[in-house]
Amino acid sequence: MRFVQDIPHPHFRIGLYAWNSKYIVKIEAGPYEQTYKISEMDITEPDEVPAMLDDLFLERVANRFRDMDQDWQETGERNGVM
């Protein structure tokens, strides 16, 4: 996997990578990660990717991270780990 660029954001670490004819967007928050794959055939330049990360999309990403954290906490509690 080849690193292309960091995409600045105040709350998430966002990295853009290229691999196997796809662009891969990795969004990290604490111990959680979301990955999105985009075919290189769908985007002509990697500079187009940051424009796709609009406010609505990133708000949904944040909600998904909250859900992931809640799921993780709940399974830990159910199984006596946390």
**Domain hosting residue 32, numbered range:** 2-78
Which residues, other chains included, contact 76 with Cβ-Cβ below 8 Å and sequence gap of 6+?
82
pLDDT of residue 46: 87
| Structural domains of the chain, count | 1
Which residues, other chains included, contact 29 with Cβ-Cβ below 8 Å and sequence gap of 6+?
11, 12, 13, 62, 65
Sequential pLDDT tens for the chain (82 residues)? 999 999 999 999 999 999 999 999 999 999 999 999 999 999 988 899 999 999 999 999 999 999 999 999 999 999 998 7
Alpha-carbon span 82 to 73, nearest angstrom: 7
Assessment of whether the complete model's pTM goes beyond 0.85: yes
